[in-house]
């Protein structure tokens, strides 16, 4: 029946074209559809991953800043407790050394705009760059009530000031106690300007970021229309976070939702990541059409290319197939490199098809991820700088308290690090030496001024009290977990190889290397600086004394390292005002003088 409709002869061209269509165009069409589906899903996944990475990065940044601030405040509370001798009652809270500690705390960090110390009666001192208003004072009252209940307090974010001078702050407080007895409260204003800057950076990349608290109120936003304290619970993704309660503090979530109302509503793609220690959430959102625009564009282009491929299949079928498979392989290799953590990978692909668009999207994703990793590293470096600033603040407070040893901690730190390098210690070990040497005399903050500032030699009873600065220093810093490895240098730097040191009378190898290095640096600085009970010596005489103690009281390898760096000129001392009248001789005479010097040495 159908034969009469068929031509008597079928042209070979039709057969060839039919075969080409069957063996090239159809498989290519199926293959391109499959690639489109796979890569489209990857783009959707990568967009969600990008949002998750952004929110997690900001949440981690907030947590790191908050933890650094908490450690700084804990260090300050410990210093205030020790400096006050456990007594903040009455006018004691207004002591000059307490005020100096408070002012140093505010001036040493951009995170702190205001700090106050109140005793149990609510009286105290304050320092800062802002003027508290009524809302701020109310937060301080809540903080004081929490401190009385032995609780730390993290207040609601609030704006202080107007216009360009306005700042978003959060009051953070902690009780100050001594032997479980409530002494008062230390409260600070945690500046959230760093958070606003981070959100503005993200906003320039096409995402709309903001931070909300557990009740859905706005903490900070990147756009002018976002005001601190604004109720954001009407936004579905924020409402989801609030309704999840405690569960929302465990994991991040990504969802699609509608923003706006009626015909003006827009389908959005959003992600939130919790900041668990503050019960906050970092939220980013973007119109779904913008988020998936690359996918939609890829789909439209794929359809056009499929039609075009059918028309010109006989001419470009094989070439087209190769031009499709090769870019896919390149993109696949780039995806694998990114999965391995190499975010510097870029795809060089000269193509105006959807594959080229896909390559551009991959390059954009790689660039953004690389920037976020760099931001995390920079945030970690800033936090480390905050940590070192806190250490230098404590050391500076000690040196300022003792007029005879001003600059002593910095010099001992410099000598100790040079010796550690000479002894080929690892960079991590050198860093431990640096921090430990900077804090080795922190316990002096707990020594009475009548002893510390005495212009002459100490009595035996006074010297016994002075010797407690080693254990006091270790006690002050032991609650800080990050300083655990530094404690031996602080507690044991006055131990002696012959067992005549303090506080425990350790001998030989029982003394760790860290305090042995600091002991040599400490002794060298004591001998080369003027004290009320001795005249400074020149470097050569000091080294002669130290050499006579090598292997007896001081570690031989540390002494050799000190001599080596001095001979190379890495240690330069100012010219002494006067040198001891008689040169120190070698042998037993030098040893005797050295022993006498070390017995009197207070550092």
Of residues 168 and 368, which shows the higher confidence score? Answer: 168
pLDDT for res 234: 86
pLDDT for res 593: 42
pLDDT tops 70 at residue 382: no
Q: Tell me the pLDDT tens digit for each residue of 193-230.
A: 888 888 888 887 778 899 998 888 998 888 777 788 88
pLDDT tops 50 at residue 12: no
pLDDT for res 72: 86
473 and 439 Cβ atoms separated by less than 8 Å: yes
Per-residue pLDDT, averaged over 32-50, amounts to: 74
Q: Tell me the pLDDT tens digit for each residue of 465-488.
A: 888 989 988 898 898 888 899 899
The CATH class of the 84-191 domain is alpha beta
Per-residue pLDDT, averaged over 35-48, amounts to: 73
In this prediction, residue 599 has a pLDDT band, given cuts at 50, 70 and 90, of very low
User: The domain 402-600 belongs to what CATH superfamily?
Assistant: Hypothetical protein af1432 (1.10.3210.10)
Per-residue pLDDT, averaged over 144-173, amounts to: 85
Q: Tell me the pLDDT tens digit for each residue of 414-433.
A: 999 999 999 999 999 999 99
Continuous segment of H or E residues that includes residue 381: helix 354-401
pLDDT tops 80 at residue 23: no
pLDDT for res 429: 93
Q: Tell me the pLDDT tens digit for each residue of 559-593.
A: 999 999 999 999 887 654 433 333 333 333 444 44
Q: Tell me the pLDDT tens digit for each residue of 110-121.
A: 888 899 999 988
Per-residue pLDDT, averaged over 497-522, amounts to: 93
pLDDT for res 186: 92
| pTM summary value | 0.45
Task: Convert 130-190 into a string of H (helix), E (strand) and C (coil).
Answer: CCCCHHHHHHHHHHHHHHHCCCCEECCCEEECCHHHCEEEEEEEEEEEECCEEEEEEEEEE
pLDDT for res 581: 38
Give the whole-angstrom CA distance, residue 100 versus residue 89: 18
pLDDT for res 144: 92
pLDDT for res 322: 56
pLDDT tops 90 at residue 510: yes
pLDDT tops 60 at residue 3: no
Q: Tell me the pLDDT tens digit for each residue of 80-100.
A: 888 888 888 888 888 899 899
Of residues 25 and 301, which shows the higher confidence score? Answer: 301
pLDDT tops 90 at residue 515: yes
Q: Tell me the pLDDT tens digit for each residue of 261-311.
A: 667 788 888 899 998 788 889 999 888 888 777 766 766 776 677 677 667
The neighbour count for residue 550, using CB atoms within 10 Å, is 18
pLDDT for res 15: 54
DSSP per-residue letters across 42-89: HHHHHHHHHHHHHHHHHHHHHHHHHHHHHHHHHHHHHHHHHHTTT--T
Domains in the chain: boundaries: 3-50+293-377, 84-191, 402-600
In this prediction, residue 9 has a pLDDT band, given cuts at 50, 70 and 90, of low
pLDDT tops 70 at residue 345: no
């Amino acid at each position: 029946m159908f034969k009469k409709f068929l031509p008597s002869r079928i042209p070979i061209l039709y057969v060839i074209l039919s075969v080409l269509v069957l063996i090239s165009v159809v498989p290519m069409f199926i293959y391109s559809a499959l690639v489109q589906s796979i890569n489209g899903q990857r783009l959707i996944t990568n967009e969600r991953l990008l949002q998750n990475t952004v929110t997690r990065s900001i949440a981690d940044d907030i947590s790191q800043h908050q933890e650094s601030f908490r450690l700084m405040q804990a260090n300050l509370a410990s210093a205030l407790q020790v400096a006050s001798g456990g007594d903040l009652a009455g006018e004691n809270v207004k002591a000059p050394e307490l005020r100096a500690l408070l002012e140093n705390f505010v001036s040493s960090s951009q995170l702190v705009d205001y700090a106050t110390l109140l005793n149990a009666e609510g009286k105290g001192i304050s320092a800062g760059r802002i003027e508290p208003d009524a809302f701020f004072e109310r937060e301080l009252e809540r903080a004081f009530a929490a401190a009385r209940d032995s609780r730390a307090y993290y207040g609601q974010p609030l704006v202080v000031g107007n216009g360009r001078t306005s700042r978003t702050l959060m009051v953070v407080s902690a009780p100050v106690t001594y032997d479980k007895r409530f002494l008062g409260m230390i409260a600070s204003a945690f500046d959230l300007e760093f958070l606003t800057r981070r959100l503005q950076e993200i906003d320039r990349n096409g995402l709309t970021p903001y931070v909300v608290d557990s009740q859905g109120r706005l903490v900070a936003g990147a756009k002018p229309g976002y005001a601190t304290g604004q109720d954001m619970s009407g936004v579905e993704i924020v409402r989801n976070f609030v309704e999840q309660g405690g569960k929302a503090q465990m994991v991040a979530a990504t969802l699609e939702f509608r923003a706006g109302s009626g015909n003006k509503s827009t389908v959005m793609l959003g992600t939130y990541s919790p900041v668990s220690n503050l019960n906050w959430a970092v939220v980013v959102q973007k119109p779904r059409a913008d988020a998936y625009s690359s996918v939609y564009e890829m789909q439209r282009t794929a359809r056009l290319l499929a039609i075009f491929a059918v028309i010109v299949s006989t001419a470009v079928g094989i070439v087209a197939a190769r031009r499709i498979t090769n870019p896919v392989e390149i993109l696949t290799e780039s995806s694998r490199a990114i999965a391995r953590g190499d975010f510097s990978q870029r795809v060089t692909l000269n193509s105006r098809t959807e594959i080229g668009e896909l390559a551009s999207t991959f390059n954009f994703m790689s660039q953004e991820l690389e920037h976020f990793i760099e931001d995390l590293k920079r945030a970690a470096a800033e936090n480390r700088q905050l940590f070192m600033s806190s250490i230098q603040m404590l050391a500076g407070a000690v040196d300022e308290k003792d007029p005879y040893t001003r600059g002593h901690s910095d010099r001992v730190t410099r000598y100790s690090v040079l010796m550690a390098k000479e002894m080929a210690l690892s960079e991590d070990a050198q860093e431990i030496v640096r921090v430990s040497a900077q804090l080795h005399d922190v316990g002096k903050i707990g020594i009475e001024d009548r002893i510390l500032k005495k212009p002459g030699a100490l009595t035996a009873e006074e010297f016994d009290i002075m010797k407690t600065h080693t254990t006091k220093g270790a006690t002050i810093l032991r609650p800080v977990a990050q300083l655990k490895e530094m404690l031996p240098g602080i507690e044991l730097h006055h131990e002696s190889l012959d067992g005549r040191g303090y506080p425990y009378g350790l001998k030989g190898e029982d003394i760790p290397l860290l305090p042995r290095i600091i002991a040599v640096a400490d002794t060298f600085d004591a001998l080369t600086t003027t004290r009320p009970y001795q005249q400074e010596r020149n470097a050569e005489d000091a080294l002669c004394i130290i050499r006579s103690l090598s292997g007896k009281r001081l570690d031989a390898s540390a002494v050799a390292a000190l001599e080596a760096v001095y001979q190379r000129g890495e240690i330069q001392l100012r010219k002494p005002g006067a040198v001891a009248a008689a040169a120190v001789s070698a042998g037993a005479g030098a040893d005797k003088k050295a022993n006498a010097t070390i017995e009197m040495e207070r550092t």
